[in-house]
Structure 1
Amino acid sequence: MSFVAPDYRAELRRFVHGYAGAHQDAILRAGDVFDFYSSLMTDERVRGDARGLVAAVLAYFVVPDDVLPEEDLGPYGLLDDLFLAAHVFRMLRRQLAPEVIADAWAEDDEITKVMDVVYSESRGALGKLRRDVLRVAGLS
């Protein structure tokens, strides 16, 4: 019997597909945000602290028992994952060359505008839980 790794990207896109509810502008971008961080992880130009930040975001996406568990909350539970991703994006913009960020973003719209929406919506939804997200991710 051979092992077939799960396609987390595809599952994440299916999970949020058709979501209509609170903070949908951020939640519907979860697959794009995950793809962005996956691309950064495989980019040899991303090194040192930046690589550690990227790994923290990807790990947080796949941990089942995070601050807002998707099992209990459905797609709404991705808001903590998205907050962390947008928070780290603000850090990475100071550490990575603009072309590294641009190369990792596969979508047509501007990543900075997307991440601003994701940050604003997820930050507002989390309130004081933001500190817990950063602590669980090892960034506090």
Structure 2
Amino acid sequence: MVFMTESDFRDFYDVLVENLESYNGEYASFIDYGPKLFKLLTDFLGYEHLKGQLKLKISAAIAYYVVPMDIIPETVYGAYGYIDDIFITAYVIRILADVYGYDLLSEYWDGKDDLEEVVELCYERSKDVLRDKTSDVLDYVGLL
């Protein structure tokens, strides 16, 4: 069995940045946040008081990023394929915020913009794009 290490997550973060930094399409206003949201989840896994069920939700969202053929695969759709990944990430961060609050989560946020505003933007915009596929995404990772 192979386990991902912290450096593997950082390497994947670099891949995300590389894949998304040049995207200038219709959804750039929120797709650009994908790597930072991914990093927030990986970093928050280290929070010592994180509850077990929430670790599973975070792990599901992280795993969704690395699954090659998810609901909207990046290998087929390019940067547009990250919209479902961003949706599941924002979905899980909203759950974490309900439990721990955005103040604590902001301590793990590397972004310059307000975390709560970013999460709501990403959640609403990705949900608008995905429409009825949101339940498919949540079901895919076992969160529905």
Fold match, TM over 0.5?
yes
How far off its partner does 1:45 sit? Answer: 2.2
How far off its partner does 1:42 sit? Answer: 1.9
- Of the three residues 125, 131, 138, the one matched with 1:127 is 131
Runs of 5+ unmatched residues, structure 1: none
Identity of aligned residues (%): 28
Deviations 1:73-110 (A, max 9, x none): 00100000101111112211111254431221122221
Note if contact 1:50-1:95 (Cα within 8 Å) is conserved in structure 2: no
Task: Count matched residues.
Answer: 137
Provide the C-alpha distance between the structure 2 equivalents of 1:103 and 1:5, rounded to a whole number of angstroms: 22
Provide the C-alpha distance between the structure 1 equivalents of 2:128 and 2:39, rounded to a whole number of angstroms: 24
Length-normalised TM-score, structure 1: 0.91
Name which structure has the greater RCO, CA cutoff 8 Å, separation 6+. Answer: 1
Provide the C-alpha distance between the structure 2 equivalents of 1:19 and 1:134, rounded to a whole number of angstroms: 25
CA-atom RMSD, angstroms?
1.6
Length-normalised TM-score, structure 2: 0.89
Structure-1 residue corresponding to 2:4: none
Runs of 5+ unmatched residues, structure 2: 1-6
Structure-2 residue corresponding to 1:53: 57
Which contiguous aligned blocks of 4+ residues in structure 1 show a shift greater than 6 angstroms?
Answer: none
Check 1:5–1:38 CA distance in 2 against 1; reply closer, same or farther (3 A cut): closer
Instruction: Write the mapping of 1:12-51 to structure 2, written as runs, cut at 5 A.
Output: 12-51=16-55
